[in-house]
């Protein structure tokens, strides 16, 4: 690992400072007739900087010392990219021409087009460069130039680069609405199937992010959380890991990420949930989150049953307390466990309110399948806490692409039985 006290391209700007702004004759790319940019191309990077690049890059300083804001136009030939690196003061990239990529450590690569802006926080490890088949230019704005330190790390080898840029090799044909929703969930990422199964990828993404999202008025966060809950119930670890990035990009908090999994334990069991907890922990640590999170439990060993039962009654009514009386004597302990454990240990926790928890429960039960009796009970519970038929139908529709039609139709039948449709 090498560290230089003059950060990244700010150092290159110092190297080029004697030359001043470049003339218009340098605005035309070498050996390229289809690429056009508004800023000068500049000169090839000197060896002391090019050693941290794979491929050829060019640099044109655009500002002097007057404003103390180093700005340079950086141009990459096709396939050129810099090493993994970080800036103690951060950096701003403003894309001006061609197609490129930006990737942070532990996150999917983001495709870049002219007009895109990338804000790089201090000390975030990342790389950026051109697409395999396109020149690419961006303005590099160095933040806090007086103290910014650039740390160069390992190269982005051909295997990782190919994997990161594969999403850009297959054109996507989605409607504007689907593309907008997809971009909100997965900024700059085309999906794992776009390269290998483009037809399936296009059909699924158009359906999941276009048609089904057009139904109902669920906010983005609720859609993401219920889809994550569904992934847990389906034991879909790959889908869940991908959804973590969507959650993080849309303001789902570390508490909400973890609490969803705690909430899932009494419904799908710890044996299934623990793998997802480990995945969430790995992701959160990668985002700089310190674990464990703050304590959210509000019950003790002495009052977990009473508080759990009280919560049950607030959702389902006083009849809950008589459930044990109708059960065979040798099974009544299950009713007590339901109150003390499911509701006392888990659902009394802060992090989500009763309405949010009941929606997550619907997502879990629907996705598990074969839980129609419990699904009906929680449809009633949802209605009692303020989640009406329209909201529940929106959740069922949201999950249709992920759970399939049999589970969806079973859920609709339960919904119709409990909450009669408006006619």
Answer whether residue 386 is part of any domain.
no
User: How much is the pLDDT for 14?
Assistant: 33
Show Cβ contacts of residue 191 under 8 Å, excluding neighbours closer than 6 positions: 167, 201, 205
* Ordered mean pLDDT values, 10 residues apiece, the chain (423 residues): 39 36 36 64 90 94 82 93 94 92 92 91 95 91 86 94 74 72 77 74 92 96 98 97 95 98 98 97 96 96 96 92 82 94 97 97 98 97 97 98 98 95 50
Answer whether residue 284 is part of any domain.
no
Answer whether residue 127 is part of any domain.
yes
CA distance linking residue 168 with residue 304, whole number of Å: 53
User: How much is the pLDDT for 421?
Assistant: 61
Answer whether residue 223 is part of any domain.
no
Answer whether residue 103 is part of any domain.
yes
User: How much is the pLDDT for 16?
Assistant: 37
Answer whether residue 70 is part of any domain.
yes
CA distance linking residue 194 with residue 182, whole number of Å: 13
Can you give the CATH number for the domain in which 51 is found? Answer: 2.60.120.10
Domain coverage including residue 128: 2-167
Q: What angle do CA 248, 109, 159 make, to 5 degrees?
A: 135
Angle between helices 254-268 and 270-286 (to 10 degrees): 170
User: How much is the pLDDT for 33?
Assistant: 36
Query: How much is the pTM?
Result: 0.64
Answer whether residue 71 is part of any domain.
yes
Residue 26 CB burial class (10 angstroms; 0-12, 13-18, ≥19): middle
- Distances, alpha carbon 140 to alpha carbons 12, 35, 79, 124, 179, in Å: 11, 19, 19, 16, 28
Answer whether residue 250 is part of any domain.
no
Structure tokens at 233: 């119930």
Tell me how long the chain is. Answer: 423
User: How much is the pLDDT for 267?
Assistant: 98
Q: How many structural domains does the chain have?
A: 1
User: How much is the pLDDT for 63?
Assistant: 87
């Amino acid at each position: 690992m090498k560290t230089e006290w003059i950060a990244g391209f700010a150092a290159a700007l110092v190297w080029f400072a004697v030359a001043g702004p470049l003339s218009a004759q340098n605005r035309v790319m070498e050996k390229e007739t289809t690429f056009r940019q508004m800023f000068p191309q500049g000169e090839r990077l000197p060896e002391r900087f090019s050693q941290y690049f794979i491929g050829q890059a060019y640099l044109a300083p655009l500002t002097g010392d007057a404003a103390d804001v180093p700005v340079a136009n950086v141009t990459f030939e096709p396939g050129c990219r810099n090493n993994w690196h970080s800036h103690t003061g951060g950096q701003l990239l403003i894309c001006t021409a061609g197609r490129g990529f930006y990737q942070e450590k532990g996150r999917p690569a983001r495709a870049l087009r002219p007009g895109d802006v990338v804000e790089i926080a201090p000390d975030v490890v990342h790389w950026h460069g051109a697409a395999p088949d396109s020149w690419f230019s961006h303005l590099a704005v160095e933040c806090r130039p007086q103290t910014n330190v650039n740390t160069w790390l390992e190269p982005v080898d051909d295997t990782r680069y190919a994997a990161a840029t594969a999403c850009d090799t297959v054109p996507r044909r989605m409607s504007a609405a689907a593309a907008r929703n997809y971009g909100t969930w997965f900024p700059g990422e085309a999906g794992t199937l776009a390269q290998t199964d483009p037809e399936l990828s296009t059909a699924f993404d158009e359906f999941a992010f276009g048609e089904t999202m057009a139904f109902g008025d669920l906010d983005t966060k609720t859609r993401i959380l219920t889809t994550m809950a569904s992934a847990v119930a389906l034991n879909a670890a790959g889908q869940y890991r991908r959804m973590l990035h969507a959650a993080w990009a849309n303001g789902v908090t570390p508490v909400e990420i973890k609490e969803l999994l705690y909430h899932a334990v009494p419904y799908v069991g710890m044996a299934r949930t623990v793998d997802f907890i480990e995945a969430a922990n790995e992701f959160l640590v990668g985002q700089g989150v310190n674990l464990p999170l703050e304590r959210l439990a509000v019950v003790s060993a002495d009052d977990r049953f009473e508080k759990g039962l009280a919560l049950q009654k607030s959702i389902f009514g006083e009849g809950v307390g008589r459930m044990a009386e109708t059960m065979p004597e040798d099974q009544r302990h299950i009713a007590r466990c339901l109150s003390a454990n499911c509701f006392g240990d888990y659902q009394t926790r802060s992090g989500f309110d009763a309405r949010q928890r009941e929606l997550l429960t619907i997502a879990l039960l629907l996705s598990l399948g074969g839980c129609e009796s419990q699904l009906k009970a929680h449809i009633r519970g949802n209605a009692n806490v303020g989640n009406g038929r329209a909201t529940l139908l929106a959740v069922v529709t949201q999950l249709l692409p992920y759970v399939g039609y049999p589970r969806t139709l079973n859920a609709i039948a339960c919904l119709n039985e409990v909450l009669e449709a408006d006619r």
